Amino acid sequence: MPNEIKFNSSLECRLFVKAPSTPVENPLIVLALHGYGQSASVMLRLTDTMFHGRAVIAALQAPNQHYVSLTTPESPVVHNWGTRENWAASVRLHHDMVLQSLAYLETQFHAGPGRILLLGFSQPVGLNYRFAGTHPNQVGGIVGLCGGVPKDWEGDAYQNFSTPILHISRDADEFFPNAVVEGFPARLRHHASDVEFHLLPGAHRFPSKAAHVVNPWLERVFGYR
């Protein structure tokens, strides 16, 4: 059997930032993470639409690349946050990328953690929860869209935290059946003291029409209107 040797190397990460066209005093800053097989540019557009162009949107691109199709010439390149192979390393890399992004945003926009929202769609939702349980009090709120709760969430690897969570699932999600997602609120509360959960109509898609759910939560948590 060959010996497996592991080593670290530098990685060029990409963060796409869009500020409001009209300057806003003490703006809300949204760090948005896209789903598997997507890109930061798509996530930037979707998130900016959700916040009506009135927040600073920073979309972080996942570190792993793959082609949409291996048989189609000039296939688009998309990104993912990792696979089950070497998942622990993917989690560590996600945490490091988020920490560096938060440090940049706080310095660039003179904002504390209380003005930063961590938002994820699909694959990074569970990673973001892991981040909050590993590095509590780094952000003022967390929004999880169409994603899951870590399988080991009830274990002792994570700390308890008070950062508010808004989790939105869809009732026709092809990856997360209703019988599974209905248990998410109780599971999240194992470590998070402030959890709001909504099951909205639709398939596994970015919930662009969820303003009636998102806006009241943003006003309660951030005073954002």
pTM across the whole model? 0.95
pLDDT in tens, 95-128: 999 999 999 999 999 999 999 999 999 999 999 9
Q: Quote helix, strand, coil % in the chain, to nearest 5.
A: 30, 20, 50
User: Is the C-alpha dihedral spanning 42, 40, 195, 138 positive or negative?
Assistant: negative
pLDDT of residue 5: 87
pLDDT in tens, 209-218: 999 999 999 9
Give the Cα separation of 159 and 126 in Å (integer).
15
Which domains are seen in the chain, by residue range?
15-222 (3.40.50.1820)
Take residue 137 and report the two structure tokens written for it: 């009090």
By DSSP bridging, strand 116-121 and strand 56-60 are: unpaired
pLDDT in tens, 6-53: 888 888 999 999 999 888 888 999 999 999 999 999 999 999 999 998
Query: Which helix or strand (DSSP H or E) is residue 199 part of?
Result: strand 195-200
Take residue 46 and report the two structure tokens written for it: 């979707």
